[in-house]
Amino acid sequence: MSILRLRVCEAEFFVRNVRTRMPFRYGVARLTGYPILHARVLVETESGERHVGVAADALPPKWFDKDPTKDFRDNVDDLLSVTLAAQQAYLGQSECLSPFELFMDGYDSVIAFADAEGLNHLTASFGSALFERAVACAAGHAAGMPHDRLVRENALGIDMAAIHPELGDTQPRHVIPAAALSSMWIRHTVGLSDPIRTYDVSDGERLDDGLPQALEEYIERQGLRYFKVKVSGDTNADILRLSEIAGLLDARIAEPYYISLDGNEQYREMGGFAQLVEELRSSAAFERFYSSILFIEQPLDRSIALSEGISDEVVRLCQHRPVIVDESDSDLDSFERAISIGYSGISAKNCKGIYKSLMNLGLAQLYTRHGPSERDYFLTGEDLINTSVVPLHQDLTTLATLGIDHAERNGHHYVCGLNHLSETERDACLDAHADLYASLDGLAQLHVQRGRIAIGSLAVPGFGVGVETDFGGMVPLAEWSFESLGLP
């Protein structure tokens, strides 16, 4: 198929507030509610046809920017400001361009805006990424193609060498699998305040909302095999908690299980984290748990994680287990910098950009073949409280396109099924995506079976959404306020 060219005629924003069913504690944040920002764009093709595209993301605290002088409201305001800057950039194009050309121009504009406002580039990427997906969604509708075909046939006009010259004439179809995945392993998040055993949940804390609550209950009901375990930076406290988790997994799972250990930037130097890893490596109580660790997620604060001075320490840690960067992935060249320092991988998150993830997959393949060391470089799938419909579907679609077969999922754990949606959307999800969702005990929810979810129904024209987004059930951004979240 030839490259699509289009222009963005209109862009609107809507907000849906969501409350968590129990607190989600990660790093320094404790999340009990958050807004989901939805974008709806109208595009016009060269032939004059018009199509709608959508995208959506959560606006969480203390992830894009962990500046201690900023609170949750400040974080949300910053994310909205870069989104409005992206809107100006995309609406400012009067001629039809390929989606990739729109991205390149829009990205530069948003980065310039962020620099002028003193905002970091991870925050800036959010604004760009929202429009990248909304335009790609509209392009998929224009072409009548699911997202993976759109990428494989390069209808988006992706020029990989424009960002990474070392990729040369590599085409998207050379990078992604021949077909999108139709199922995926769930990597269940174990947050810092999550109950581990059933008896850890007191009668007064029991939710009784139709979903498991303790990790033990999730393993029993969903047959989980993959887990993302967060640590706090307090070695003694972490060892105690990890021993509980390891004991449970060893006792309840006969088959192999797999772990990602998430440092969440909780360390200012590598020595403390290396001590934690050594405790796990040398203790008989952690023998199976430690051997099950697939990789370690960024333990060092972003201010130092990509400093050349810590290269030797990163390389030493990678000799035990691969280490990836996540929060330090703020620029288009972050993965190259990470590889030069000694890291083995990087996270793929839609909130950081779909083109960036595709390029990073290309770099991982290139450096695995011709890299500075004999190791495999890779991408991982990490969540950011993605919930149904749009954020979850588009995240899963991206990962399925990239061929990432297990991914952190926490939205279904901390949010009560599909209850945050309108009844119209819930019914539509159960009908159009009967493989991904089910009504169990009267609650519409993600259908996890033997640790996996089926996602074949996401292969629809557009970007995996497959149902009408109920914008009427949301609040236009101009009428929304932070106070409406009702947070304490």
Tell me what the pLDDT averaged over the chain comes to. 97
Ranges for all domains in the chain classified under CATH 3.30.390.10? 6-165+470-478
- Rounded-to-10 torsion of CA 210, 211, 216, 219: 110
Look at the pTM and tell me if it is higher than 0.95: yes
**What does each C-alpha distance from 26 to 30, 65, 129, 293 come to in angstroms?**
7, 14, 23, 19
Model pLDDT, residue 203 = 93
Least Cα distance to 302 among 330, 340, 332 occurs for: 330
Model pLDDT, residue 1 = 75
Least Cα distance to 437 among 449, 422, 424 occurs for: 449
Q: Please give the average per-residue pLDDT across 204-226, as a whole number.
A: 97
Give pLDDT tens digits for 340-361. Answer: 999 999 999 999 999 999 999 9
Residue 174 reports pLDDT greater than 90? yes
Give pLDDT tens digits for 61-88. Answer: 999 999 999 999 999 999 999 999 999 9
Structure confidence at residue 373 as a pLDDT band (50, 70, 90)? confident
Model pLDDT, residue 27 = 87
The class that CATH gives domain 173-458 is: alpha beta
Residue 188 reports pLDDT greater than 80? yes
Question: How, if at all, do strands 50-58 and 29-45 pair?
Answer: antiparallel
Q: Please give the average per-residue pLDDT across 152-180, as a whole number.
A: 97
Give pLDDT tens digits for 1-23. Answer: 799 999 999 999 999 999 999 99
Give pLDDT tens digits for 440-482. Answer: 989 999 999 999 999 999 999 999 999 999 999 999 999 999 9
Structure confidence at residue 245 as a pLDDT band (50, 70, 90)? very high
Q: Please give the average per-residue pLDDT across 161-173, as a whole number.
A: 97
Say how far apart CA 445 and CA 333 lie, in whole Å. 38
One of 3.30.390.10, 3.40.50.150, 3.30.450.40, 3.10.450.50 is the CATH number of 6-165+470-478, namely: 3.30.390.10
Which single residue is written with the structure tokens 């069913």? 21
Ranges for all domains in the chain classified under CATH 3.20.20.120? 173-458
Is the Cα dihedral 156, 157, 158, 162 positive or negative? negative
Percentage of the chain beyond pLDDT 90 is 98
Least Cα distance to 459 among 396, 389, 384, 417 occurs for: 396
Residue 374 reports pLDDT greater than 90? no
474: Cβ contacts below 8 Å, ≥ 6 apart: 14, 15, 16, 38
